[in-house]
């Protein structure tokens, strides 16, 4: 079985389309949340990803943009985007977001957990080995896919051996992939990266493919039409910073 793992699309239609065009041969799509927020195409993104997803975890921006919680905890730019998105969403898409389940969730594939942030707390960021220590110890499955940080990679543990995973690519502008062979008897916290707003200084859309038979996770980066995505943001009257950061990858 091959699962396409996506996270943090953030209303970026161009990035999502590029990922779906590039990814092939997958059997299930696991969506780790933050489908909307920041980007200027929330309805188009939901309409595209909703029928394809086998599993969708609620993200914190999804929760705020559909009105379940207040945007007051967000910084001013994120808050402005959330309030704009809240007004832009159709009634149907608002209700769909409201009905999404909080993680962690378990797909049909055994041994896997899907979460937005930490599997211990959906709003917690896993940025370092210190952050990863408790989730790795308390995970009920050998692999947990998570998002929220917009940083592609992850953390691996086997007994007293701990490793941080950071994919390396030959080019910063072309499509690329990096294969991680999953060692036996290990625990893995894996972040596929952000589709719509990477923050690891790589502007390309990020995703991952989990192949259960080959016991591999392949990280991918794919270029997309950043200029078009930026134009949508500016035309919508959203903060300019949201457009600029797409090219910067941070």
- Is residue 52 one of the residues assigned to a domain? yes
pLDDT band for 95, please (50, 70, 90 cuts).
very high
Counting every residue, how long is the chain?
A: 250
The whole-number average pLDDT for the span 38-59 is: 97
Q: Does residue 170 carry a pLDDT above 90?
A: no
What's residue 38's pLDDT?
97
Task: Provide the mean pLDDT of the chain.
Answer: 96
Share of the chain above pLDDT 90, in %: 91
- Is residue 2 one of the residues assigned to a domain? no
- Is residue 82 one of the residues assigned to a domain? yes
Q: Does residue 2 carry a pLDDT above 90?
A: yes
Q: Does residue 14 carry a pLDDT above 90?
A: yes
Share of the chain above pLDDT 70, in %: 100
Residues 117-146 have pLDDT tens digits of: 999 999 999 999 999 999 999 999 999 999
pLDDT band for 219, please (50, 70, 90 cuts).
very high
pLDDT band for 92, please (50, 70, 90 cuts).
very high
What's residue 173's pLDDT?
86
Neighbours of 101 (CB within 10 A): 11
The whole-number average pLDDT for the span 202-209 is: 98
The whole-number average pLDDT for the span 160-169 is: 90
What's residue 161's pLDDT?
85
What's residue 172's pLDDT?
82
- Is residue 7 one of the residues assigned to a domain? no
For residue 159, what is the domain's CATH number? 3.60.21.10
What's residue 171's pLDDT?
84
- Model's pTM, two decimal places? 0.95
- Is residue 1 one of the residues assigned to a domain? no
How far apart CA 107 and CA 90 sit, in angstroms, is 28
What's residue 159's pLDDT?
80
Range of the domain at 32: 12-248
pLDDT band for 156, please (50, 70, 90 cuts).
very high
Q: Does residue 187 carry a pLDDT above 90?
A: yes
- Is residue 162 one of the residues assigned to a domain? yes
Q: Give me the number of domains the chain comprises.
A: 1
- Is residue 5 one of the residues assigned to a domain? no
């Amino acid at each position: 079985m091959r699962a396409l793992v996506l996270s943090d699309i953030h209303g970026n239609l161009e990035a999502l389309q590029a990922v779906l065009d590039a990814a092939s041969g997958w059997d299930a799509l696991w969506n780790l949340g933050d489908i909307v927020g920041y980007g200027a195409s929330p309805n188009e993104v939901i309409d595209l990803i909703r029928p394809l997803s086998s599993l969708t975890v609620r993200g914190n921006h999804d929760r705020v943009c559909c009105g379940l919680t207040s945007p007051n905890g967000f910084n001013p730019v994120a808050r402005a985007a959330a309030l704009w998105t809240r007004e832009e969403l159709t009634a149907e898409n608002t209700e769909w977001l409201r009905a999404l389940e909080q993680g962690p969730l378990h797909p049909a594939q055994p041994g896997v957990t899907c979460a937005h942030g930490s599997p211990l707390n959906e709003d917690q960021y896993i940025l370092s080995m210190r952050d990863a220590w408790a989730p790795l110890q308390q995970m009920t499955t050998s692999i947990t896919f998570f998002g929220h940080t917009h940083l592609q990679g992850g953390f691996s543990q086997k007994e007293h051996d701990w490793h941080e995973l950071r994919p390396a690519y030959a080019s910063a502008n072309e499509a690329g992939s990096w294969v991680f062979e999953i060692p036996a008897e290990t625990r893995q916290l894996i972040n596929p990266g952000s589709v719509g707003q990477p923050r690891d200084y790589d502007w390309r859309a990020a995703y991952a493919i989990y192949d259960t038979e080959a016991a591999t996770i392949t990280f991918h980066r794919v270029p997309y039409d950043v200029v078009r995505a930026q134009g949508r943001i500016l035309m919508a009257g959203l903060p300019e910073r949201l457009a600029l950061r797409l090219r910067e990858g941070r």
